[in-house]
Structure 1
Amino acid sequence: MSSPTWTGDEDYPAPIKISAIGWCRVLLRGLPVVAILLVGIFTLTLIRLIERPIFGLRRPIGGHVPSIVCRIILFVLGIRFRVSGKPMAGGGAVVANHSSWLDIVTLNAGNPVFFVSKSEVAKWPGIGFLAKITGTVFINRDRKEARQQTKVFEDRLAAGQKLLFFPEGTSTDAIRVLPFKSTLFQAFLSDELKPKMRIQPVTVNYIAPEGEDARFYGWWGDMDFGAHMLQTLSAQRHGNVEVVYHTPIQAADYANRKTLAAYTEATVRNGHFRTKHSQ
């Protein structure tokens, strides 16, 4: 069962007509981004051919390739990138607010992570392939498979991976944090994971380009991915993004999934520069 997409109560930002110069920027940014992705895929594939037989799920070298690629992509786009706080060392769960497809780039640029995504994403053209090759964990939102998915999490965490979750269950307009769904956190409190499970709340703040709608980087509802990507590539100027790493916590310190979800949500909200308490 998939999560409903958040639509909000306000109209979408007015579409920006792309000028001739804007289309030139699309090419000047888009072509290098494609080239960077292709080089990254080729490099990662070669590294995994060596890593997999030796290290299995561990990715001591390959895990850093997406991070390097994403930092370069942000530079090419002209989006200024800043980090506050310190990513936790070793494996664990990372929970963050979700604003846009750009989160894939910004959260990987800050620190190597492995996204946990709904199984449907694996079938999406292009994006599904990139998700697979970068080690994304695909899950079915089915309680019948909860035990099996917990085992997948346990194996990944034992390999030192950081698994990134979006507890809101949907992307937003980048100016708010939605309530965290507590169901996700139940896996962290299983008998196998709870004693050693560490969780780091992370806040992502997008600052729109000067003069643009504050929701410029948000991607939500039924907004078209292609149109939003072209808007990003054609922008005359860009704003910036800040990734805030909060103090990690121990799952064993929380009585149940609701208190764990409430604490991480409050922490992410407190780090958000203009959170609206919206349901």
Structure 2
Amino acid sequence: MPHPDAQPPLGRRRHNRPIIDESVNFPAEQATTQFSAFSRTVCVARLAAVLIWAFWVSIIQFVLIRLPGSGKIRVPRIFWRMISRILGLQIRIVGTRAGKILNAKDVQRGERPIIYVANHCSWLDIPVVGGTLHTVFVAKGEVGSWPLIGTISRLGRTIFVSRNRQNTGKELQEMTEHLWNGDDIVLFPEGTSTDGSRVLPFLSSFFAVAKPGRLDQAGMPKPPPTLVQPVSIVYDRLEGLPVGRSRRSVFSWYGDMDLTPHLWSFCQWRSMRATILLHPPLDPENFRSRKELANATFKAVSEGAAKLRQGLVPDDQN
């Protein structure tokens, strides 16, 4: 999540402005006024559609979360996929998902839940990942108190964590319970969101549930065997054109940036695309330490993100 010391990239205001269609035969000032008004109207319509969609899906999920079955797992993916469509965000998936919908009996029989590990540069990562994978998010504790977003997060069975070391054991236990129940989990181990131009080194502490040590297990149930699947996320198309460094600020949300202005600016663009690259899964048992596992996962995610930014990953890569 946002880091207090992060700085916004230069030229943010200029690059966040929606593109004006210069093919329309308006005088320059009239065209700017017409399309600015149109972009704002589109933005308002999108945000209204998001609220209406969230309201009805929240009612459905409120019921499903109290019932047995996989409905409460499938509905969040449908919800986030539709949110992306409403926002005009196309999602390209490259690679194969390692996970599938499991239950507690499957895990007891030896099926392994998946811990997805991804880079993090924006709030957009949530609908992108949530619309692609059947997974439970791990979010900072204050998200649970945010209006609407907190409610949606709880209905999505989000695991809330704090920076208080005294709560670490409780949070690991909650993750362990989810894994034993068959849930897959997604982690953003950079510990903060970035400007999208690079991937920060991963904090090995995030991998405690994948490769617990003796101290982690003291007085706590042991997590089931899992697989770790690295995931690279890059926002690579804006209005049908490749996204260079100067345009990444359209998507990035980090530091002390306010969410509302960023959301208002983003929703005025007409079409965007995110590519999510799913790497081969890693077996934590093949690594001697948590640090080695974190480094191997970081290498896969960072190299994959670099290739995506350079446009070197074709659609048909497996």
- SS class of match (2:252): coil
Per the TM alignment, residue 24 of structure 1 is displaced from its structure 2 partner at its CA by: 0.8
Give the CA deviation at 1:158.
0.9
Write the distance in 1 (CA, Å) between the matches of 2:184 and 2:289: 22
Partner of 1:11: helix, strand, or coil? coil
Q: Would you say the 8 A contact 1:208–1:214 is kept in 2?
A: no
SS at match of 1:177: coil
Pick closer, same or farther for the CA change 1:43–1:85 going to 2, 3 Å: same
Note the C-alpha offset of 1:140: 2.3
Partner of 1:138: 160
Partner SS state of residue 104, structure 1: helix
Residue 137 of structure 2 is matched in structure 1 by 115
The alignment yields a C-alpha RMSD, in angstroms, of: 2.3
CA distance in 2, matches of 1:3, 1:252: 32
The answer as to whether partners of 2:46 and 2:267 remain within 8 angstroms in 1 is yes
CA–CA separation in structure 1 for the residues paired with 2:153 and 2:299: 29
Q: Which residue of 1 aligns with 2:290?
A: 257
Residues in 1 aligned to 2:47 and 2:280: alpha-carbon distance in whole angstroms: 36
On the 8 A contact 1:6/1:172 being kept in 2, the answer is no
TM-score (norm: length of structure 1): 0.87
Is 1:168 paired with 2:214?
Answer: no
| One of 50, 69, 78 as aligned partner of 1:68 | 78
Following the alignment from structure 2 to structure 1, what is the Cα–Cα distance between the partners of residues 8 and 84? 30
User: Judging changes above 3 Å, is the alpha-carbon distance between structure 1 residues 256 and 12 closer, same or farther for their aligned structure 2 residues?
Assistant: farther
| Structure 2 residue 70 is the aligned partner of structure 1 residue 41 | no
Structure 2: 5+ residue runs without aligned partners?
A: 19-35, 101-112, 311-318
State which structure, 1 or 2, has the greater radius of gyration over its C-alpha atoms: 2
- Determine whether 1:98 maps to 2:120: yes
Code of the residue aligned with 2:261 in structure 1: it is A
Shift of 1:12: 5.3
Higher mean Cα deviation, 10-19 or 34-43?
A: 10-19
Deviations 1:24-70 (A, max 9, x none): 11122222121111111111112223x1xxx4xxx611111111111
Size of the alignment, in residue pairs? 266
- SS at the partner of 1:67? helix
Match of 1:274 in 2: 309
1:204 is paired with a residue whose SS is strand
**Do the aligned residues in 2 keep the contact of 1:5 with 1:170 (CA within 8 Å)?**
no
Q: Distance in 2 between the 1:92 and 1:39 partners?
A: 29
Equivalent of residue 209 in structure 1, options 225, 228, 238: 238
Note the C-alpha offset of 1:132.
Answer: 0.9
What is the distance in 2 between the residues matched to 1:134 and 1:172? 24
From 180, 196, 201, give the equivalent of 1:179: 201
CA distance in 1, matches of 2:81, 2:17: 28
Aligned residue number for residue 219 of structure 1 = 253
> 1:29 is matched with which residue?
46
Contact 1:4 1:170 in 2 (8 A): yes
Is the aligned partner of 1:229 residue 2:246? Answer: no
- Taking the aligned partners of 1:69 and 1:194, their CA distance within structure 2 comes to 29
